[in-house]
Structure 1
């Protein structure tokens, strides 16, 4: 795990630092032996700007409790990263959304459940 030293006072993390912090937080919630975790949306397609949200997808053997998704989103929203976050359980999305969103992804963690082609 990569860590970033923020003990010398508050600073807004760079885009690279923010991504590391986000990824570490998300992966700490979803064990690799159960969940595939990935980034999707404008941050992957190259259409993002500094204000774009982070779209994070998770898929596992069963639906993820809404409370876990809500708690994670709240923790991310309250972090030092000045962005918005969407954490999406892909077992709950429509087939159309699934196909569109997974056309281009950045896999953060490959679990036993793979993305459909």
Structure 2
């Protein structure tokens, strides 16, 4: 479960649905330890072109979300940090075929 208001979750889903990739959430919004403006931590494990990740980041920055969304490439995360967050990963979008990129 992702801890945020329903209207904010709809914005997150709307943005991610534009991209045909698998995304996981982790961090305080998954563990239930978030504060009102805690960021949403997301990661992806498959290759996503850098320009596409930049578009995703920009979509979140321009959204009406009252918190930051931090998107990380799993393959670039330090091994110690991976161990720490792996148990909390929640699948929020499964890869789909097609898409605009």
Q: Which runs of 4+ in 1 moved over 2 A?
A: 63-67
Structure 2, unpaired ranges of 5+: 96-101
TM-score under structure 2 length normalisation = 0.78
Q: Is the partner of 1:57 in helix, strand or coil? A: strand
| Partner of residue 108, structure 1 | 92
1:43 to 24, 29, 41: 29
Q: Is the 8 A contact 1:38 1:57 kept in 2?
A: yes
TM-score under structure 1 length normalisation = 0.69
Higher helix share: 2
2:9 to 15, 19, 22: 19
Structure possessing the higher relative contact order (Cα contacts under 8 Å, 6 or more residues apart): 2
Structure 1, unpaired ranges of 5+: 1-13, 112-117
How big is the alpha-carbon RMSD for the aligned residues of Structure 1 and Structure 2? 1.7
How many residue pairs match? The answer is 92
